[in-house]
A and B are shown apart, each in its own frame.
Chain A
Amino acid sequence: MSVRLDHVSKRIRGRAVLDDVTLDIPSASIAAFTGPNGSGKTMLLRAIAGLLLPTEGKVVVDGTELGADAEFPSSVGLLIEYPVFLSHLTGFKNLELLASIKRVASHDDIAETLENVGLDSFDKRKVRSYSLGMRQRLGIAAAVMERPKLLLIDEPTNALDVQGVEMVKEVFAEARRSGSTVIFASHDREIVSQLADVVFELYDGALVKEGSA
């Protein structure tokens, strides 16, 4: 699933959070948005997800213009900002709830995904008792369980230990192998260099640099 942004700008309360961003991400690649806090990385992810409506320009995902042809990408997995779940349910139940909409992922798929991210699919604890690292793993599981063609992940290694970072690498590699496009945002240059094929650097909402990792 390719992603193209054509002169995308967004103003919120008079402030330009995205400033004339133009970029092209081919299918089956891993792209990273990097930059300091407040540079517009998360806003860019939201724009690609269809959650943010550009003031100018257009976002085209797999040939479909968001806002004109469709409101959201047809096959996307999200983890944007904090991994928030229904705290009174278990991790498995949360994923089951999300999977019930499109009914693409089966119970076995959910269980396998949880095991792949290092969580116990039989864990009866409610999410409210999860650590931040566990919630991050659950967030990644929620994003990948339906094997979407587009993955949008914000700060994928946030709160993760060394094993968790290795897990993220494997998840991203598997996604690329299966033809999915992965776009993640991170301010950690080491993670970006390890994971990404192409890097887009942002500053104050504008794209200032583009290149391979």
Chain B
Amino acid sequence: MRFFRCLTIEVRSVVKVAIPWAVFLSVFSAALIAVMQVRIRGLGLGSERITVGDCLLCLTFGSPAIELGLGTVSMAPVDWLVWIATMLFAASRDGIDEGRGIGSSLLVACGSRLRWWLVRCVASIVGVTILCLIVWVSSCAVGMLCGATADLGVSEGACSLAGFSPDNIDPLGRSEFAVFMLSVLAMLAALSILRLALSELGARTLSVVIILAVVCLAVWIPSDLLPGSYLMLSRSSCAVMGGVQPFAGLCYAGIVGAISAGIGAASFAQRDIVGGGERS
């Protein structure tokens, strides 16, 4: 029971820090949806109303692989980069610092370093999940206020804007799109635990930068081994032939999260809690 009591406290602390970022991302995604709608109508790409699926596509589309060369930075999907960077940054905000004051007392009351570490990992997952849900739900809400239909399918206009055939997103494949969104959530959660583990190993400041750099590499390098490939709909098999499988993304996220949690637990078990995040 102590685990769940500690978890409640840590989740409240993590969510409190993440809420302002969720608001920012919600406003950002609303702007993206508005731009998408204007572009679809302006370019005459589709006469039907946009869908809730279109709103989610807005955030997660990314881009097909960009060949390295002159001008490739300017071609990078800025909207996707902003969304991912903000999500990773928001998810990296720590809860209660166990090295100081009430944090040390909570750690000791928790009774076990492993239990406290697991609390932090689970709280991180919960924080990312809440953050994602807030952003996605608010995106859908904004879209529906703008006239979007409550349909997880992607409209012809949005497909044309994204540059791929609507035939690739099978209307009957909504469940695969849902699995893709789940894999995005899982990958973000796994990366947040990886950030915790890197921070525990001493790369507290660099951990977010390192992870962001690795994720962004996928913009230029189309590799199944890069986590960023599983965060972009443009690389997913539910949108393009031969794309990465969302289910594989779920498994990959599970492996990354489990290994990160294990490494972090081993490191935390040996850490001296000397206050201010110092390490011996």
Q: Chain A: residues with CB nearer than 8 A to chain B?
A: 10-13, 43, 46, 49-53, 71-73, 76-78, 80-86, 88, 94, 97-98, 100-103, 139, 142-143
Contacts and interface: CB of A to CB of B under 8 A. Distances in A.
Nearest to A72: B108
Given A86-B96, A142-B102, A98 B273 contact: no
B2 interface: yes
Contact of A52 (B6, B8, B100, B273): B273
B102 A49 contact: no
Tell which of B2, B96, B102, B270 has the most Cβ of chain A within 10 Å. B102
Interface in B221-280: 270, 272-275, 280
A12 B102 contact: no
B9 A102 contact: no
A82 B101 CA distance: 6
Given A51-B273, A72-B111, A86-B13, A78 B104 contact: yes
Given A81-B100, A83-B101, A139-B101, A49 B108 contact: yes
Contacts of A80: 104, 275
A49 B111 contact: no
Contacts of A98: 102, 105-106, 109
Contacts of B113: 71
B102 A51 contact: no
Interface string B97-140: 10011111111111111000000000000000000000000000
Interface of B: 2, 5-6, 8-9, 13, 16, 96-97, 100-113, 270, 272-275, 280
Q: Which label, helix, strand, loop or mixed, suits the secondary structure of the B interface?
A: helix
Contact of B101 (A72, A85, A101, A102): A85
6 contacts: A43-B274, A49-B104, A82-B100, A86-B96, A100-B8, A101-B5
Contact of A71 (B97, B106, B111, B275): B111
Contact of A85 (B102, B110, B111): B102
Given A86-B96, A88-B16, A142 B105 contact: yes
Contacts of A72: 107-108, 111
Contacts of B273: 46, 51-52
Contact of B272 (A52, A102, A139): A52
Contacts of B110: 101
B280 A13 contact: yes
Closest 5 A/B residue pairs (Cβ): A84-B101, A51-B273, A101-B109, A12-B280, A84-B100
A115 to B, nearest CB: 20
Tell which of B2, B9, B104 has the most Cβ of chain A within 10 Å. B104
Contacts of A53: 270, 272
Contact of A12 (B8, B9, B272): B272
A139 B104 CA distance: 12
Given A12-B280, A102-B2, A71 B112 contact: yes
B108 A76 contact: yes
B277 to A, nearest CB: 13
A119 to B, nearest CB: 15
Contact of B103 (A11, A49, A84, A100): A84
Contacts of A81: 100-101, 275
Contacts of A88: 16
A12 B108 contact: no
A84 B280 CA distance: 22
A51 B270 contact: no
Nearest to A78: B105
Nearest to B102: A85
A16 to B, nearest CB: 12
Nearest to B100: A84
Contacts of B272: 10, 12, 46, 51-53
B5 A100 contact: yes
A53 B270 CA distance: 7
B5 to A, nearest CB: 5
B89 to A, nearest CB: 21
Tell which of A12, A86, A139 has the most Cβ of chain B within 10 Å. A86
B2 A101 contact: yes
Nearest to A80: B104
A73 B107 CA distance: 12
A143 B101 CA distance: 10
Contacts of B96: 86
